[in-house]
Amino acid sequence: MKNPLIALTIAILLVACTDQGGAGSDGPAGSSGTSAAESGGTSSSPSAACHEAFAPLADMEIESLSDLGDLQAEVEPTIQTCESVADWIAGAQQVVDDDINPNTVALLLNILCADQSLDDTPICEEIASS
């Protein structure tokens, strides 16, 4: 149980360190590694079910996605409920103070989807197919 948390922490730190420049962080044109996450954007609203799944997290002080990474038990129901990566991003944006980086979302969801109990969720199926 500690290994995935350690891997998540290291991965988020690596993404944060490589993304500090900001200007060139959108990735090259035509890159498809995170196309599922990038297609979501943060301007849309989450589905009603996804919004409800994130409701318990709304009262917590969540500043960034790395904070969500530390709340695996609370985040798993959101993965089980939200309809897609784009839906999850829209739901997460409502509880996370900072803007959400789709690359970090893809990394976080990849790590969380390693849990075999989440294999048949729409989000993990979408992540696996991208």
24-52 pLDDT per residue, tens:
444 444 444 444 444 444 458 999 999 99
Does the residue 22 lie in any domain? no
Q: For the whole prediction, is pTM greater than 0.75? A: no
Query: Across residues 100-124, what is the average pLDDT?
Result: 91
Does the residue 103 lie in any domain? yes
Does the residue 123 lie in any domain? yes
Does the residue 24 lie in any domain? no
Tokens of 76: 């798993």
**Residue-range definition of the domain harbouring residue 109:** 45-130
Secondary structure (DSSP) of 38-98: HTT-SSSPPPHHHHHHHGGGTTS---SHHHHHT-HHHHHHHHHH-SSHHHHHHHHHTT-SS
How many structural domains comprise the chain? Answer: 1
CA atoms in the 13 A half-sphere facing the CB of 71: 21
Does the residue 77 lie in any domain? yes
- Whole-number mean pLDDT of the chain? 77
How far apart CA 99 and CA 111 sit, in angstroms, is 20
